[in-house]
A = this chain, B = another copy of it.
């Protein structure tokens, strides 16, 4: 079983997504669209980008297949020779299959509520089998949405042990992607490495401004006229991962530090939700320290 996806009941409008990057060369669109055509697919959406400096080709194709009954493994098998020839990184997904995510939280509820609510009205293509926290505070919110809530009382002494337990839980639940919804702990490099380009964080500043802790306080003291929030993939370097989405809001001398926190909350939840939607819809390709987002 592919750890990223789970079968949903709605197979009726199942489309196919290919997400691929490889060294650029002539004929790539032709060869890949030919593959789709030979499979009997009709392309509904195609986004293509060539990095003019690095000479890398990026593409996302969405097509409606001739038949809904072809299994994913068969499609992958058919495409593999082309991918090998192009030296590509790639994946194929069905739109009817949902990405399985785990949400990590601490005490703030706004980002968690945002994701759970959006998912409840069908905005995201995700399943949320579990929430992990280092505090009990948000258990009632998880319960309201019927999601199992696991508390791991982390401290400096037990970090390694706890992370092992968390990884075991993630693997048992076939979790593909982790969302840090204002999780106030730093993951170990080993943990990060196991989920490369699959951990999404929200940082409450306009990166690269105000890296690290207390960005609202830093912004308040610097006297900026605009504050921001940034969602990015987590890498081993703190707040340095590839940026997925950013947004901003105006502030003025009238805004206290509390006002910045209040205004920032709205940014944080919207930006994190946007990044998660892009990720769950397979719209993001990582390009070194940057992202290509086909929105």
- A interface residues (Cβ-Cβ under 8 A, vs B): 24-30, 33-34, 36-37, 40-52, 58, 109-110, 113, 117, 121, 123, 144, 206-210, 221-226, 228, 242-248, 252-254, 256, 262, 266, 270, 287, 289-293, 295
Contacts and interface: CB of A to CB of B under 8 A. Distances in A.
B26 A46 contact: no
Residue among A25, A26, A44, A293 with most chain B CB within 10 A: A26
Given A48-B43, A49-B254, A207-B224, A26 B37 contact: yes
Majority SS of interface residues in chain A? mixed
B37 A30 contact: yes
B226 A248 contact: yes
Contact of A33 (B29, B41, B242, B243): B29
B252 A293 contact: yes
Contacts of A256: 52
A71 to B, nearest CB: 21
A289 B49 CA distance: 29
A144 B146 CA distance: 13
Given A44-B50, A45-B48, A144-B144, A289 B222 contact: yes
B26 A41 contact: yes
Contacts of A245: 225
A248 to B, nearest CB: 6
Contact of A123 (B45, B46, B48, B262): B262
A47 to B, nearest CB: 7
Contacts of A52: 44, 256
A291 B223 CA distance: 7
A185 to B, nearest CB: 22
Nearest to A288: B223
Contacts of A26: 37, 40-43
Contacts of A24: 42
Contacts of A47: 47-48
A221 B288 CA distance: 10
A246 B228 contact: no
17 contacts: A26-B40, A29-B43, A30-B30, A30-B33, A30-B34, A30-B37, A45-B254, A52-B256, A113-B117, A208-B222, A221-B289, A222-B289, A223-B242, A224-B243, A225-B243, A226-B228, A226-B246
A122 to B, nearest CB: 10
Nearest to A46: B48
Contacts of A29: 29, 33, 36, 43, 46
A49 to B, nearest CB: 6
